[in-house]
């Protein structure tokens, strides 16, 4: 009886190995796709494209974002003071 089950056992083992191979190939393809995407993102975000009238200092990424943050804080303060003055006028 063991000889009749032997081909079935071998086929099952082959099927398991084929499935494992497919899983590994899919993982490899996913890793390659993620690596390619990461490389493209690095390439895209490594450049700053500025309009012609932008200050030359904005070509430095940190100077640009520091200016953006400064403007954001200023507008937040203006909005806060506007809300405060409108509340005072309502009283």
pLDDT digits (tens, 9 = 90+) for 37-51: 988 877 766 677 888
Query: How open is the CA angle 61-50-74, to the nearest 5 degrees?
Result: 65
* pLDDT surpasses 80 at 22: yes
Q: Which residue has the higher pLDDT, 62 or 27?
A: 27
Same domain, yes or no: 40 and 73 = no
Same domain, yes or no: 5 and 22 = yes
Q: What is the pTM of this model?
A: 0.42
Query: Which domain range does residue 81 map to?
Result: 55-91
Positive or negative, the CA dihedral 80, 81, 82, 85 is: positive
* pLDDT surpasses 60 at 34: yes
- The total number of structural domains in the chain stands at 2
- Residue 58: CB atoms within 10 Å: 15
With pLDDT > 90 as the criterion, what percentage of the chain qualifies?
40
Same domain, yes or no: 64 and 40 = no
Same domain, yes or no: 30 and 61 = no
Cα–Cα distance, 43 to 19 (Å, whole number): 36
For residue 45, the model assigns a pLDDT of: 63
Cα–Cα distance, 24 to 32 (Å, whole number): 12
């Amino acid at each position: 009886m063991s000889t009749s089950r032997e081909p079935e056992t071998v086929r099952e083992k082959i099927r398991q190995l084929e499935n494992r191979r497919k899983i590994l190939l899919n993982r490899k393809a996913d890793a390659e796709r993620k690596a390619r995407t990461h490389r493209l993102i690095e390439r895209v975000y490594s450049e700053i494209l500025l309009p012609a009238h932008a200050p030359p200092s904005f070509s430095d990424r940190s100077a640009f974002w520091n200016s953006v943050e400064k403007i954001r804080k200023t507008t937040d303060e203006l909005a806060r003071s506007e809300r405060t003055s409108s509340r005072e006028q309502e009283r």
